[in-house]
């Protein structure tokens, strides 16, 4: 940690700050300049609160030198983490497409979609049972029944499942789900993160609409600190001033995450764009930038979808795009 103080600071002011710092068993090395003095702190500074330092009036700025996350940090874990989702590996060179409807609507619907995407060689099925909707008057998902319909589809097709959890209370209902999704709006629902840290099941952690990459990694750290090492990150677009797309896919997040962390990262082109015609170019861009997977919305009848129809592909549209995805994934290994 580095602290910059004014060179005009009086001795007693400095003493107060030094006492505070040294009470944390940390050494101080000063570099005195003309206008500023730089204090370099040597030792374990994790427990020193930057905010507390900032309250000393002589302090002009404080800067952490070490990242605030450890378990997700590539510096302490060089090899890529590979997460196994019902037999399908993600990360460390393993790429998967996850596909399915925004929300599960009926036995026939989820089965038709599952079979449709499986015919395109897709291993993992997604489907929403608990739906976070900005309006209390919108369809909120089939909830427990939705999870049962997913289980039936799994029993019939053998496909592992991805579904979103909205509350720690519901975790027991997810016994048959292979990858539990934390939605963007819950990225900083710390209570939920803590509970997910106590189970061993893989977690798909979506980035919040306006969260920095560091905050996202800190949320992954919450899960890992609880003991669950099976975390997959999911970039799904951030909120900006642009209105031509629902969100702005932050494609740079892929290589940035790869450098900072060992965790796999997948991309959700459907929510990023909000429009089905953008799913193909954004999927291909994500692969070219190094993503470990994609999660794509597919519906058997988008015009009758109970949510987010505008961003869903039909099964035949998905088939065409998925062939390009497979080709590009294979090609990227050759360059």
* Contact set for a second copy, span 159-178 (CB under 8 A): 166-169
Q: Which of 65, 78, 175, 200 binds a second copy (CB under 8 A)?
A: 65
Please report, as residue ranges, which positions from 264 to 293 form the binding site for a second copy (by CB under 8 A): 272-273, 275-278, 281-282, 284-290
Neighbours of 93 (CB within 10 A): 9
Least distance in angstroms from the C-beta of 289 to a second copy = 4
Report the nearest approach of a second copy to the CB of residue 86 (Å).
27
Q: Which span sits near a second copy by CB under 8 A: 85-93, 112-120, 150-158, 186-194?
A: 186-194
d(CA 50, CA 89): 39
Contact flag: residue 145 with a second copy (CB under 8 A): no
DSSP letters spanning 3-41: EEEETT--HHHHHHHHHHHHTTT-EEEEEE-SSEEEEEE
CB of 221 to a second copy, least distance (A): 6
DSSP per residue, 90-128? EBTTB-EEEEE-SB---HHHHHHHHHHHHHTT--EEE-B
Is the Cβ of residue 151 or residue 301 nearer to a second copy in the bound state?
301
Of residues 93 and 136, the one with the C-beta less far from a second copy: 136
Window 191-230: residues binding a second copy (CB under 8 A): 191, 194, 208-210, 212-215, 218-219, 221-222, 225-226
Least distance in Å: CB of 51 to a second copy? 4
Tell the smallest beta-carbon distance from residue 313 to a second copy (Å). Answer: 11
Select the residue interacting with a second copy from 307, 318, 322, 329 (CB under 8 A): 307
CB within 8 A of 76, min separation 6: which ones? 70
CB of residue 175 vs a second copy: minimum separation in angstroms? 19
Closest CA to 20 of 47, 10, 35, 6: 47
For 230-256, give one letter per residue: b (16+ CB within 10 A) or e.
Answer: bbbbbbbbbeeeeeeebbebbbebbee
| Phi and psi torsions of 165, nearest 5° | -100, 140
| Whole-Å CA distances, 158 to 148, 161, 203, 330 | 15, 9, 20, 25
Answer yes or no: are the C-beta atoms of 70 and 221 closer than 8 Å.
yes
How would you classify residue 93: left for phi > 0, otherwise alpha for psi between -120 and 50, otherwise beta?
left
Cβ–Cβ < 8 Å for 269, 318: no
Answer for which of 238, 265, 266, 298 binds a second copy (CB under 8 A) is 238
Please give the size of the binding site for a second copy, defined by CB under 8 A.
116
Is 22 one of the binding residues for a second copy (CB under 8 A)? no
- Binding a second copy by CB under 8 A: which of 12, 35, 78, 79? 35
Q: Exactly one of 161, 181, 308, 322 binds a second copy (CB under 8 A); which one?
A: 308
Burial category of 172 from C-beta neighbours within 10 Å (exposed 0-12, middle 13-18, buried 19 and up): exposed
Is 121 an interacting residue with respect to a second copy (CB under 8 A)? Answer: no
- Using the rule CB under 8 A, which residue among 15, 25, 32, 316 binds a second copy? 32
Binds a second copy by CB under 8 A, chosen from 148, 309, 317, 319: 309
């Amino acid at each position: 940690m580095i602290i910059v103080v004014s060179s005009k600071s009086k001795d007693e002011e400095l003493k107060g700050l030094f006492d505070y710092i040294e009470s944390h068993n940390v050494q101080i090395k000063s570099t005195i300049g003309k206008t500023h003095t730089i204090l370099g702190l040597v030792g374990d500074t994790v427990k020193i609160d930057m905010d507390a330092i900032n309250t000393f009036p002589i302090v002009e700025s404080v800067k952490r030198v070490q990242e605030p996350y450890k378990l997700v940090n590539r510096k302490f874990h060089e090899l890529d983490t590979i997460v196994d989702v019902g037999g399908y590996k993600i990360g460390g060179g393993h790429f998967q497409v996850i596909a399915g409807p925004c929300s599960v609507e009926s036995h026939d619907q989820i089965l038709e979609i599952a079979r449709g995407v499986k015919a395109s060689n897709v291993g993992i099925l997604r489907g929403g049972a608990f739906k976070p909707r900005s309006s209390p008057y919108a369809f909120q998902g089939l909830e427990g029944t939705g999870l049962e319909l997913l289980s039936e589809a799994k029993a019939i097709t053998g496909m592992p499942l991805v579904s979103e959890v909205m509350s720690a209370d519901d975790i027991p209902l997810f016994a048959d789900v292979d990858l539990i999704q934390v939605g963007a709006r819950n990225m900083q629902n710390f209570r939920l993160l803590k509970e997910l840290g106590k189970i061993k099941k893989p977690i798909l952690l979506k980035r919040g609409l306006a969260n920095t990459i560091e905050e996202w990694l800190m949320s992954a750290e919450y899960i890992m600190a609880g003991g669950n090492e099976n975390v997959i990150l999911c970039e799904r677009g951030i909120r900006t001033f642009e209105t031509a797309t629902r969100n702005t896919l932050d494609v740079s997040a892929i290589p940035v995450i790869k450098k900072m962390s060992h965790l796999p990262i997948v991309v959700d082109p459907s929510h990023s764009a909000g429009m089905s015609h953008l799913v193909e170019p954004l999927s291909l861009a994500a692969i070219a930038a190094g993503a470990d997977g994609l999660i794509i919305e597919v519906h058997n009848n988008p015009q009758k979808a109970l949510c987010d129809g505008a961003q869903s592909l039909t099964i035949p549209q998905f088939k065409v795009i998925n062939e390009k995805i497979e080709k590009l994934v294979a090609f990227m290994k050759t360059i």
